[in-house]
Structure 1
Amino acid sequence: MLDAEDIFFIFVIANFALGFLFIGTQLYFGYFRMNEILRNLSNSRGVELRRSIMGRDPLTRFFMLISVGAMLTFHQRSIKGGDLDAEDYKHFPRSLHQMIKLSYMSALFGGALLFVLWAIGKYMGWLK
């Protein structure tokens, strides 16, 4: 039978697995789908401003993808703020939009879960 510490450990391992999955999807989007993403968001000011710092390295591509994920997930705010063009959002490929949004939301969930697990571990005395 599993006790509370075992269940906590399972959640921690699952959260790290989610993190590795997120990194894998970001690498995929960053190196295999980035041109398509940038082409479909060519009129968006937020993408154009960040395009100049994007290089071939994973970190700047991750930054670009996280920015695009935030713009597509919170599209009303991004359109209102001028970072995302309404026509770009309307014509963005639906399947790619859903994959980026799912990846972004799972990263937000994983980050929040990490803080919750840390707080529970500290409270229960499992973490020093």
Structure 2
Amino acid sequence: MRSEQETNFLLVAGGGIFLLGAVFFVGQIYLVFFRKDEVFGALHSSSGLRRRRTAVGEGVLGDYFTMLSVGAFLLFPERAIKQGELSREDFIYFPKSLLRVVRFLYSVGLVGAVFLLGVGVVGVVAGWLK
């Protein structure tokens, strides 16, 4: 049986992970359905976008997975430019307000992933997970 402290920790951690995941998922859906053309149009000369579009294809699911890659490009642009995935000119001229939205959403997703990993480590150390 779990103590009250353990139960509260798991409830708060689970709620936090759920909230971060929901914000990320809803934001991702917003980008795919309402801002996709603007994002993909601003990255027209980036080779990473072209490769992913041909690899995953068209449609909502393909746009969703392509947007995940684009979000990683825009969250870590130095790395993407260095690897040749993102054009420096595309990044410089990318709309700043849209860049803030994309960076916020993918930062929330990254924080959620780190938080989930941390709760998993705490669970293993505390003996809740085997």
Superposed pair shares fold, TM > 0.5: yes
In structure 2, the gaps of 5 or more residues are none
Task: Look up the match of 2:59.
Answer: 56
In 1, Cα distance between the equivalents of 2:24 and 2:80?
23
TM-score of the pair, normalised by structure 1: 0.89
Report how far residue 23 of structure 1 moved: 0.8
In structure 2, distance between residues paired with 1:31 and 1:117: 32
- 1:6 alignment partner in structure 2: 8
Matches within 5 A, 1:60-99: 60-99=62-101
* Matched letter for residue 77 of structure 2: H
Task: Give 1:103 deviation, angstroms.
Answer: 0.9
CA shift, 1:3, in A, is 2.5
Question: SS of the counterpart of 2:11?
Answer: helix
Deviations 1:96-124 (A, max 9, x none): 11111111111111111111101212222
Distance 1:110 1:23 in 2: 11
TM-score calculated relative to the size of structure 2: 0.88
Q: Which amino acid aligns with 1:55?
A: E
Equivalent residue for 2:111?
A: 109
Q: Percent of counterpart pairs with the same letter?
A: 33
Counterpart residue identity of residue 111, structure 2? F
Q: Comparing 46-55 with 112-121, which one deviates more in the overlay?
A: 46-55
Partner of 2:44: helix, strand, or coil?
Answer: coil
**Which runs of 5 or more residues in structure 1 are unaligned?**
none
